[in-house]
Amino acid sequence: MDRRQRKTREAIFQAFSRLLARKHYSRITVQDIIDEADVGRTTFYAHFQTKEDLLNQMCEEIFSHVFSSVEHREATHDFSGQPPTLASELTHLLYHLQERTDIASLFSGESGDVFLKYFREQLGRAFEGMQELFPASVPEEYAETFYVTSFAELVSQWIRKGCPERPETLVQYYFALIQK
């Protein structure tokens, strides 16, 4: 992707973020996004098939960053140079959700179900290979569903309450709950 395409894509992401801060996801139209980004309809569709595709790609960008190896210190947190663990990946994810109020706002209201479904799918990536957490008597797919869903619901509540605890604290609560 060339520089011009990246700038256009970023303008659309930013416009969508601004709209999410003001409106419910279900009430945002492609026309709203086009108007806010000041791009043409053809330009929008050259980058995204639908509004849902835009949401998916926006979330994918966040999740791919979180679940990749972090090689640099970030403004609010530093996971660079550490071997990735489930706890560090979940904590890193929480920092980004806390900072991105546009994405965080998707956890509540009319768009909550749409986003939670996508969020759970992406969380599954963090729990892959974590069979040591799963009781041997429970089939892996059921155990993974339980751990992913319970963490997603915990995060959803944390965000709706305005993120009162630090991300590290919420992850500690989660591990305390699942180890009982």
Cα distances (angstroms) measured from residue 31 to each of 2, 12, 36: 25, 12, 8
- Pairwise CA distance, residues 114 & 56, whole Å: 10
- Pairwise CA distance, residues 32 & 2, whole Å: 25
Q: What is the mean pLDDT of residues 24-35?
A: 92
Q: What is the mean pLDDT of residues 163-167?
A: 93
Listed range (48-52, 73-77, 123-127) with the worst mean pLDDT: 73-77
Q: Which range is most confident: 23-27, 81-85, 136-140?
A: 136-140
What token pair was written down for 163? 């993120």
The answer to whether 48 and 28 have CB atoms below 8 angstroms apart is no
Q: Let me know how long the chain is.
A: 180
pLDDT in tens, 55-109: 888 877 767 766 655 555 565 666 666 677 888 888 888 888 888 766 666 776 5
Domains of the chain (ranges; CATH) run 3-48 (1.10.10), 64-178 (1.10.357.10)
CA 80 to chain centre: 20
Q: What mean pLDDT value characterizes the chain?
A: 83
Q: What is the mean pLDDT of residues 27-36?
A: 95
Q: What is the mean pLDDT of residues 127-134?
A: 77
- Pairwise CA distance, residues 29 & 50, whole Å: 10
How much of the chain exceeds pLDDT 70, in percent? 81
Higher pLDDT, 24 or 45: 45
Q: Is the pTM of this model over 0.75?
A: no
Residue 58 CB neighbours (<10 A): 21
Residue 170 has a pLDDT of 97
Residue 157: is its pLDDT beyond 80? yes
Residue 115 has a pLDDT of 74
Residue 48 has a pLDDT of 96
